[in-house]
Amino acid sequence: MADIVGIGANVYDILITVPKFPEEDTKIKADSIKKSGGGPCATGLVAASKLGGKTAFIGNVSDDAQGKFLVEDFEKYAVSTEFVTVEKGYDSFESHVILSEETVSRTCIFHRGNVPPTELDDEQINAIKNAKILMVDGNDIKAATEGAKIARENRVKVLYDAGGLYEGIDELLENTDILIPSEEFALGKTGADKVSEAAKILYEKYNPEVVVITCGKKGGVMYDGEKLSEYPAFLVDAVDSNGSGDVFHGAFAFSVSKGMEYYDACVFSSAVSAIKCMGLGARESVPSYEKTIEFLKERGINV
């Protein structure tokens, strides 16, 4: 059985690399165009798998060409598709991602498609009960919330990659053990001016074990109810930031599943994300566990 299971967005990405972001009503030549699997939860599972974790995705996909690609991409990276249900005649969640070489930014234009939401079956529920970590991202909200409740009833930790301020997420937040919001989410959800303040508000309101706010190249903060800590970002020659947050969450799930303390998991996950940004692609550039440990040791850090 998988140690890390996930319920959330599974997206067909078209990645378009351009010298700089195009102006409106112009044409620009792309340096490359490639297809990839995407989505916060899905890419997080790939990251955890590449680090050495046993992972599985729980959810529905379409039988269209994009859906078939998504299943194949999971299998390419050893993410189990045993708990994936193929729904016939629907359109997949699709995103076109513009990657600017000039600013190393990424801009997403997406359409959610119409694949039906997941209704958890007995096998999927059993997979959650037997995992160590359930990853969710606020998508497929009904199944994610039900899954989170099942997980907590069975002492399985729920890790919430909180990036979007979607409707109906409060119940999911209330059933989260490891809350990892983006800076934008944390400030938007709380109305706070500083991430340190937002971390404390989120902790006091939703009572997770830990709140970790990711702040991109600024690093981030962690609050466990007693101590507020800052963790570093690593300065690297970045070429592609797409999926860096998703990779951080997957690395965090992996490290916690292996017994790492939360602050060490922050540092480890930050390193994994930094290394990923040095190569093209949200998934193919995720490093191994060994490469990440070597990266940290070169900087005098042991986790």
Q: What is the CATH number of the domain that holds 21?
A: 3.40.1190.20
Residue 170, number of CB atoms within 10 A of its CB:
12
Q: Specify the pTM.
A: 0.94
Q: Report if residue 49 sits inside a domain.
A: yes
Q: Report if residue 303 sits inside a domain.
A: no
Q: Report if residue 29 sits inside a domain.
A: yes
Give the Cα separation of 282 and 284 in Å (integer). 6
Q: Report if residue 104 sits inside a domain.
A: yes
Query: Closest Cα to residue 61, out of 102, 114, 13?
Result: 114
The answer to whether residue 105 scores a pLDDT higher than 90 is: no
Range of the domain at 194: 4-297
Residue with tokens 């979007």: 164
Provide the number of structural domains found in the chain.
Answer: 1
Do residues 138 and 163 lie in contact, with contact meaning Cβ atoms separated by under 8 Å?
yes
Mean pLDDT throughout 48-67?
98
Name the helix (H) or strand (E) containing 109: strand 105-111
Mean pLDDT throughout 269-284?
94
The answer to whether residue 144 scores a pLDDT higher than 90 is: yes
Q: Report if residue 302 sits inside a domain.
A: no
Round the average pLDDT of the chain to a whole number and report it: 97
Q: Report if residue 278 sits inside a domain.
A: yes
As a whole number of Å, the CA-based R_g of the chain is: 18
